Structure 1
Amino acid sequence: MRALLGVILSCCLGLAQAAAPTRIAVIDWGLTETLLGLGVAPLAVAQTSGYRRWVVEPALPDTTVDLGLRVEPNLELLARLKPELILITPQFEASRAQLERIAPVKSLAIYSEEQEAYLGAQRVTRELGQLLQREGQAETLIARVDQALLHVATRLATRPQAPVFVMTFLDARHVRLFGRSSIYQGVLDRVGLRNAWQGHTNYWGFTQQGIDRLAAEPEARLLYLEPLPPGVERNLAASALWQQLPAVRDGRLTPLPPVWSFNGLLAAERFAMLLDQHLGGVHE
């Protein structure tokens, strides 16, 4: 019996000390960002060129392999890479069965109906930290981003700030306005800015609206995230409706470099830093 207990204990210790996976493939950009924030370079990521254009930071290593489309990753290439773990979000559950033939699959969700995106991003950071035996790095990242947002809040509080619309252009007549449930709303709440859009948003925290809705808050500043779709800048310049919007007419229009709208803590930190850079010296 004593020998049997010894074997069981030895097996348990072996499991507890098993090395965390390092060869990790990721289908979602938000999880890619979080993985990099924990100091782990992903083996492979879907649509690396899109990540570099829309997410930007943290930078993706040149050694990371491109898996093709997020909705249809290259399974043959993925199998040849022999990952130890594949990370997905619930939006890619339809691919789970195929992916599980290659490696274990873990699904993590920043966005949920039970929790605001910022808190969801903190939760996923902790879950990924535990999975990869990087709990300390996870807590450090969470604390760093919280502190960064507090710093921005302190700086912005020294000057009066107008309410802001946070948006991306779909075309020259329609925008996505971000509000409740978005990662941007979590940042605005924590840095002390009022969102000019208080209307309904979907699961992802945005709503599609015509640009005429931007006149509903005539004192608001328009913050739009780059890049713009092709032709939009030219069409806006020729749009009488756009040119007559109070914010455009009065020069309260602020372009911001890309921040991926559906990411985690590092996107929140990047957005807050951009707010500081572009609004910290603005007196409304």
Structure 2
Amino acid sequence: MKVILANPRGFCAGVNMAIKCLEEAVRMFGSNIYVYHEIVHNRYVVDRFTQEGVTFVDELEDVPEGSILLFSAHGVSPAVRAIARERNLQTIDATCPLVTKVHLEAIKYSRAGYNIILIGHEGHDEVIGTMGEAPESITLVETAEDVQKLEFPADAKIAFLTQTTLSVQEASQVIAALRERFPQIESPPKEDICYATTNRQEAVSILSQEAELVLVLGSQNSSNSKRLQELANDNAKRSFLIDGAHEIRAEWFEGVETVLITAGASAPEVVVQECVDYIVREYGAEVAQRTIQEENVKFPLPKELRRLQTASQQQ
């Protein structure tokens, strides 16, 4: 058996920044830290920090006044920030800069009087945060069929934005439907789907052609991980989205000569290696790394954390 390890895979720059941010906060202040929602959508990562004493909350009312609170990589709405200020919380914003970019675009288009069409998945943390920037101006669509239900005047000012972790192919279909329905529609100068999402999908699209089985490391609530599995399925490959080697089933490997392994942008490399080790141990597999795109993107830690670091060093 042969294992192809897709590159790029795993942590993107935004996830890496958010996790390092939480690690540094724990190092500086101890484990009595709160995070609004999951820091990233990955069970292994969340469980690791929970075991260290970090508390993840879905309601800010659950955070004691004056506590340290991190906003997750997915971003939050202005309403959440206002509640945090009212509760005198010491906030550290670990929002991915590429998500912040979408928020700023929403604000810009709203102030200019545009009707904003946001392409994304209802209920996703990133979508909730973006819509919160201009709730009176934003309409959410998920599919090309949703576009046909939109009721705007023919001459309306319209712009579209996208969730950063969408399937490139599916988003393209929705965008094409929007452009056909509303030829005047505007979009940001640079697309919103992030580089990491695009690169990981491209790697799966190309490399899955050489495999009979695709394993995607990632959690079920990870949008970009689910898109990778769906893409492999679209290529008529058997694929499974798993959190780790403990979920692997022997029957998946019947008649399989080549396995492609990749990981969503919020899945740590340790779970990838556990799966590789399992397949090597059980099937004597040979492992080959295959790189489709090089990634060198890095994001600095949030300015609030850097200020606290500086203050700590001066004491």
TM-score by length of 1: 0.35
Q: RCO higher in 1 or 2 (8 Å CA, sep ≥ 6)? A: 2
